[in-house]
Chains A and B, each alone.
Chain A
Amino acid sequence: MAIIEIKNLTYTYPGALKSSIDDVSISIEKGEFVLITGPSGCGKTTLCRTFNGLVPHFYQGDVKGEISVAGINTLQHHTYEMAKHVGLVFQNPENQLFALSIEKDVAFGLENNGVPREEMRQKVDWALNQTGIYDIRERSPHEISGGQQQRVAIASVLAMNPEIIVLDEPTSFLDPRSAEKIFEVIHRLNKQQGITVVLVEHRLDLTAKYTNHLIVMDKGKIRLEGDPRQILSSEETRLMGVGIPKATLLYQMLKKESFGLADKTPLSSEELANQLLETLLPK
């Protein structure tokens, strides 16, 4: 059974003329690292919020279709019930942290669930260590960098031990180096802890290499879904305005000139470099 199963989901915000997601169907298996992308306004942010019930419970509005996350029908359950299974990390680091010290923020979800102190301490420390912020646990959120703040946000959903972590453009406000660090943390959590990851991102040059399940949305619908190597080579993707990684674009340009590269579309600079060395180095 898929860990996230969405069938013909349509959602319209209250007072909106058009639906934000239109007849969307998705199936995500446990342990996958899924990447969702698409131009601004395509509905990916709204889609994120359906995974834990913020849509429709928090935002009200009109919803049609079925959605089941970790075996639970989100339409029939409170967001606080979903919180144990799916953690949501948002775009703006500053607006997700509200306690006066970092470890208190990480403990927030556990406190809300009435977890006893001893157990809570263990889980908080574990989450802090997983995200590499144990040393700054007593600092206040305002004193730390944006990259560190996002790691706190990840730690605070991680502490509740969810099966799924959803991240909505978590590195928008971060510089490339901090962004890379965040993606490494997420990648490690996926590989080592087996946590299913759903990542919404524009920066495909930094993230395409982590996934083998890419979803491209446009105007509320899913336009393309599948292997990123195929999707990022297609003309349709480029015309939609998706930011194809430069390495991939260069590969395509060379392919057109019959350069003689292998048939596997590269998703990172390493892959392309290796292919070029293969072709250009004397045997």
Chain B
Amino acid sequence: MIETENVHYSYPNKVEALKGVSLTIQNGEFVAIMGQNGAGKSTFVKHFNGLLKPSKGTVCINGVETTKSSVASLARNVGFVFQNPDHQLFSETVEEEIGFALKNFGFKPEVIDERVTWALNLLSLTQYRKTSPFLLSGGERKRVALASVLAWDPQTLILDEPTIGQDHEQKEKLRQFILQLQTQKKTVVTVTHDVEFVAECNPRVVLMKEGKIVADGEGKKILTDPEILEMSSIVLPQIAQVFTKLSALGLPKDVIDIYEAKDILMKAKESRRRL
């Protein structure tokens, strides 16, 4: 469980990036943290594994304050996948890369071998076990980075902008993957500005602006609220855009799912036909 209470954070150059952020994330939740560039999203999630410590307020992971733990010990429970996989890859083989964290955490060699095999399989990378990660394509490198974090099976997974540079199919696979993690009761926190991706997953959405949380609730409600969207730089998901323009028909405005949209429109057609 992640509990943050009135977190303030200032960078060394005195700029205050977080101005009192309070948020609780239960185990097993899927949360999307959204907001403009500079809103403080990445700064905020870096507190979850202790990379940053609050200048005021507290951050507790499973009841333990992060100021009392090292990043390495917090990382056991909170895995962080950074946006650019090239910021992590350095090993001679994919196998070594995935085993890196396991070695750091002191796992036994047999266990490491087991977990590496498991992670390779999970992300369809088995054929690349002995390949150099630098020879793989962009999408494959992203999977290696993800595998290397999943290898130690953390309870919480933080994904920083996981959809950047991905094509439609890769995003779809990612979405399925997150669903899979959810069935395993894992906590998933993703920092993203990809509205369509969030619309398809419909997680809990936490919207940040200028270092504060300005909205927190069901994705459907937040992504279609015109006031909220006005003050942030979020764009309406396309389905919601359509329904906003249909106000003359008296249809609900908070629609982001394509199947729900179809049902609503079919019903509307039916009711007009009967008139």
Question: Do A and B belong to a common assembly?
Answer: yes
- Could you say which residues of chain B place their CB within 8 Å of the CB of A257? 262, 266
Please give, as numbers and ranges, the residues of chain A lying within 8 Å of B6 by CB-CB distance.
none
Whether the Cβ atoms of A205 and B249 lie closer than 8 Å is no
Name the distance in Å between B199's Cβ and chain A's nearest Cβ: 8
A281 x B248 contact (CB < 8 A): yes
- Report the tally of A-B residue pairs with Cβ distances under 8 A: 108
**Per-residue interface assignment for chain B, residues 245 to 275, with 1 indicating a CB less than 8 Å from any chain A CB and 0 otherwise:** 1101100000000100110011011001001
Interfacial chain B residues near A172, Cβ < 8 Å: 164-165
B239 at the interface (CB under 8 A from A): yes
Complex Cα distance, B23 from A175, in Å, reads 24
* Apart from A205-B196, A241-B168: 4 A-B pairs, beta carbons within 8 A: A41-B137, A245-B238, A247-B238, A253-B258
Contact, CB under 8 Å: A241 / B169? yes
Partner of A277, one of B196, B248, B266: B248
Q: Return the chain B residue nearest A245 by Cβ.
A: B238
B235 on the interface (CB 8 Å rule)?
A: yes
A97 to B258 Cα, complex, angstroms: 40
B195, A241: Cβ atoms closer than 8 Å: no
- For chain A, the count of residues having a C-beta within 8 Å of the partner chain is 41
Q: Do A246 and B196 touch (CB < 8 A)?
A: yes
Q: How far is the CB of B141 from chain A (nearest CB, A)?
A: 12
Binds B, one of A54-62, A111-119, A191-199, A266-274: A266-274
When the two chains form their complex, are residues A282 and B239 in contact, meaning their CB atoms are under 8 A apart?
A: no
Q: Are B138 and A40 in contact (CB-based, < 8 A)?
A: yes
Q: Does B167 contact A (CB under 8 A)?
A: yes
**Which residues of B are found within 8 Å of A245, using beta-carbon distances?**
238
How many Å from the CB of B232 to the closest CB on chain A? 9
Q: In the complex, which residues of chain A have a beta carbon less than 8 angstroms from the beta carbon of B124?
A: none
- The CA-CA distance from A241 to B168 in the complex, in Å, is 6
State the CA gap A245–B238 with chains docked (Å).
8
- Given known pairs A272-B242, A277-B246, the reply for A173 and B164 (CB within 8 Å) is yes
Q: Which residues of A contact B238 (CB under 8 A)?
A: 205, 245-247, 269
A87 within 8 A of B: no
Check if A3 is an interface residue, CB within 8 A of chain B: no
Q: With both chains docked as a complex, state the minimum distance between the C-beta of A41 and any C-beta of chain B, in angstroms.
A: 6
**Which bucket holds chain B's interface residue count?**
35 or more
Judge whether B237 and A246 touch: CB under 8 Å. yes
Q: Report whether A253 and B262 are in contact in the complex, using a CB–CB cutoff of 8 Å.
A: yes
Which chain A residues in 257-283 approach chain B with CB under 8 Å? 257, 259-260, 269-270, 272-274, 276-277, 279-282
> Within the assembled complex, what's the spacing in Å between the Cα atoms of A39 and B138?
12
The interface residues of chain A lying within 8 Å CB-to-CB of B171 are: 243
| B234 within 8 A of partner (CB) | yes
A176 & B246 in contact (Cβ 8 Å cutoff): no
B132 at the interface (CB under 8 A from A): no
Could you say which residues of chain A place their CB within 8 Å of the CB of B139?
A: 40-41
Query: In the complex, what residues of A have CB within 8 A of residue B262's CB?
Result: 250, 253-254, 257
Check B170 for interface membership: any CB of A closer than 8 A: yes
Smallest beta-carbon distance B127→chain A, Å = 15
Give Cα A279 to B241, complex, Å. 18
**Residues 132-189 of B at the A interface (beta carbon under 8 Å):** 137-139, 164-172
Query: B36 contacts the other chain (Cβ, under 8 Å)?
Result: yes
B168 and A202 form a contact (CB under 8 A): yes
